Amino acid sequence: MEDSRKYKRLIESLKNEYFFYSHGMDGKYLYISPSVEKVLGYTVEEAFGGIVKHMTDSELNKKTIETLKKSAVGKKQKTFKF
């Protein structure tokens, strides 16, 4: 339990360039770091509603959406940036 608190503090100290999230095998988000607001402009609550639904139809986003969908059903994906 202490390790998860340390990990959360570390993630939440990264303010501007990254945001982190985790989700269950059902695709539902379990955690989204507060830095999502600085990175994407969405509140944590909006992001919990689904980051994918906020994306445009650009080619880059299409690839990201496919990666997120594969990840949501348990297919391991490489680390990626979008």
Is residue 4 predicted with pLDDT exceeding 70? yes
Distances (CA, A) of 36 to 17, 63, 74, 75: 9, 19, 23, 23
pLDDT at position 1: 60
**Residue 24 structure tokens:** 């269950």
Collapsed DSSP state (helix, strand, coil) of residue 46: helix
Per-residue pLDDT tens for 15-73? 667 788 877 766 678 888 888 888 888 888 888 877 666 566 677 777 777 877 787 77
Rounded CA-CA distance 74/61 in Å is: 20
Which pLDDT belongs to residue 53?
A: 64
